Amino acid sequence: MRKVELYDTTLRDGAQSEGISYSVQDKLKIAHKLDDLGIHYIEGGWPGSNPKDMEFFRLIRRKRLKQAKICAFGSTTRARLSPAKDKNIQSLLKANTEVVTIFGKSWDLHVKYVLKTSLDENLNMIFSSINYLKKRKRKVIYDAEHFFNGALDNFDYAMNTLIAAAEAGADILVLCDTNGGMITSSVVDIIRDVRTRLSVPLGIHAHNDSGMAVANSIAAVEEGCSHLQGTMNGYGERCGNADLTVSIANLKLKLGMECISKANLEKLTETSHYVAELSNMRHNNNHPYVGESAFAHKAGVHINAMVKHPLTYEHVRPELVGNARRFLLSELSGRTLIMLKAKQLKLGFKKDAVHTKKILKLLQDMEHQGYQFEAAEGSFDLMIKKAFKKYERFFDLQGFRVIIEKNEQGEVVSEAAIKLKVDNIDKYTVAEGDGPVNALDSAIRKALLEFYPALAKMHLTDFKVRVLDEKAGTAAKVRVLIQSQDAKDSWGTVGVSENIIEASWQALIDSIEYKLIKDKR
């Protein structure tokens, strides 16, 4: 089994994504998570570029990692300057890492118009920088920036840059598609040519500007590259880098390559979501392998087939990457999913029963009105129970009032008053909140807690509002989705109305009733 080394540059290249800014503590946490996943190299940043990266290198030295090696990143020395006098090179040494990654120019266009120096001087910059670091006992990974563009324009010179790096002692030569515009067939042709001329291990660093980063990286490995660079979730400048979550899964499950262990592969989804959270980025539901929708099935034909055999609509088992299969509730789901849900709720009717058809018709009608049950299975459970008179009422609402007031200090205050009846006992409560929904939530809990103490262990975790018909302006229907959780579970509920408070109330009441029913099962 061939081994492929994984090199993660989330903390440097990934941090160049629009909207991402890591604190030093964020970087330390992500580094530990990547180490736990089994990543071989973690690029910590560019110590010569900012104090934050230098602080990271200082602190990470105190931490114990399982096996990952931290890499400092920087450029070759400047033209006509010895490495001993170059501040960036000296910063790489001060980072005190066992591994240093250094990049140089492979494309003669950059040498002429960016560095504004001679082609020979650029070769000297590459050789002298790597040779200087090797003499100081560093393992050196050389990133040949813009290599593929350089090879297409002037293959002989691009090769000379690699030869200079190899002769200086570089341990790994990484071929970079820095502009991200290469097509896989061109990447394959160039790597095949390079391999016949060099014996130093090769790596691949691909950007995703043409949507080909993962494909190009996998093809490079198939052509003999033993080192793959990328970022978690594909973060990176412009369109991002090769997505390591997808690359790892493909290497392990499709090509049978040794990159991380089977046990660590099961941490892939968790790691992906963890990095997204610390990056303050919304995780892509449609993300291959690790997205919430990666193994979600909605169409009735698909669900029916999946119940019979999981390989019918899944290319791998979701648990291999730490994900899970989901069947989505919608008007497209068909009777199979309704039968499965009825079985779960112990209602006992069969797929072809009149009850099943009735539920499917009700579901289709409600979705036509704007309801959406994909993320609101709590409301769907209640709907079924109500439709077949299996619903137990825990309280009777007699009315509520919400007041929103802006006081003299300019503060906006929300107050909710609720009247309800529990076991023929009238309750009237008033509560304030950060907003009208928060005030309603506080008021109803205040009224119900003495009867149902378990509600104290439940809280709302997400609140989303979607306008269903923007052309209707302020008279448009809105759909409110509320996510709730307790110590054991998480569930979603939905409400739809032209009035946002009423839609919120529907979703809020469903979330509370679902909790009470769930606890009584």
Residues 361-398 have pLDDT tens digits of 666 666 666 666 656 677 777 877 777 667 778 898 89
Instruction: Give the per-residue pLDDT at 332.
Output: 47
Which residues on adjacent β-strands are paired with residue 401? 417
Residues linked to residue 159 through DSSP beta bridges, in sequence order: none
Mean pLDDT is lowest, of 242-251, 345-354, 409-418, for 345-354
Banded pLDDT at 60 (limits 50, 70, 90): very high
Q: Where are the alpha helices (DSSP H) in 169-243?
A: 184-195, 213-222
Spelled out in words, what is the top-level CATH class assigned to the domain 395-451?
Answer: alpha beta
Distance CA 76, CA 354 (A): 74
Q: Which long-range contacts (CB under 8 A, 24 or more apart) does 216-222 make?
A: 216/177, 216/182, 216/184, 216/187, 216/242, 217/242, 217/247, 218/247, 218/250, 218/251, 218/254, 218/255, 219/184, 219/187, 219/188, 220/175, 220/187, 220/188, 220/191, 221/4, 221/251, 221/255, 221/257, 222/255
Q: What is the pLDDT of residue 336?
A: 56
202-206 and 227-230: which strand pairing? parallel
Q: Which of 242, 106, 112, 224 is nearest to 180 (CA)?
A: 242
Q: d(Cα 378, Cα 493) in Å, to the nearest integer?
A: 5
- Which helix or strand (DSSP H or E) is residue 300 part of? helix 300-308
Query: In terms of CATH, what superfamily is 5-278?
Result: Aldolase class I (3.20.20.70)
The pLDDT confidence band at residue 331, using thresholds 50, 70 and 90, is very low
Percent of the chain with pLDDT over 70: 85
Judged by average pLDDT, the poorest of 312-326, 345-359, 422-436 is 345-359
Give the integer Cα–Cα distance in Å for 380 and 481: 13
| Spatial contact of 144 and 101, defined as CB atoms under 8 Å apart | no
Residue 296 confidence (pLDDT): 75
Average pLDDT over the chain reads: 88
pLDDT digits (tens, 9 = 90+) for 143-178: 999 999 999 999 999 999 999 999 999 999 999 999
| Domain 360-392+457-521 CATH (choose: 3.40.630.10, 3.40.50.300, 3.30.160.340, 3.40.50.720) | 3.30.160.340
What is the pLDDT averaged over residues 336-346? 57
Cβ–Cβ < 8 Å for 68, 42: yes
Task: Say whether pLDDT at 452 is over 80.
Answer: yes
Say what the pLDDT of residue 329 is: 56
**Mean pLDDT across the stretch 406-435?**
89
Q: What pLDDT is recorded for position 327?
A: 63
Q: How many CB atoms lie within 10 A of CB 253?
A: 17
CA distance 317 to 295: 9
Model confidence over 292-311: pLDDT tens digits? 888 777 655 665 665 666 66
Task: Of 207-216, 263-272, 402-411, give the lowest mean pLDDT range.
Answer: 402-411
Give the model confidence (pLDDT) of 146-155 as tens digits: 999 999 999 9
Give the residue-averaged pLDDT of 18-31. 93
Residue ranges of the chain assigned to CATH 3.30.160.740: 395-451
* Residue closest to 422 by CA, chosen among 393, 454, 391: 393
Q: What is the pLDDT of residues 185-207, one digit of tens each?
A: 999 999 999 999 999 999 999 99
* Residues 345, 385 contacting (CB under 8 angstroms): yes
Most confident of 53-62, 161-170, 324-333, 421-430: 161-170
Tell whether the model's pLDDT for residue 46 goes beyond 50: yes
> Is pLDDT of 513 > 60?
yes
Q: Burial of 8 by CB count in 10 Å (0-12 exposed, 13-18 middle, 19+ buried)? A: buried
Inform me whether the pLDDT recorded for 344 exceeds 60: no
CATH 3.20.20.70 segments of the chain:
5-278
Q: Is the pLDDT of residue 85 over 90?
A: yes
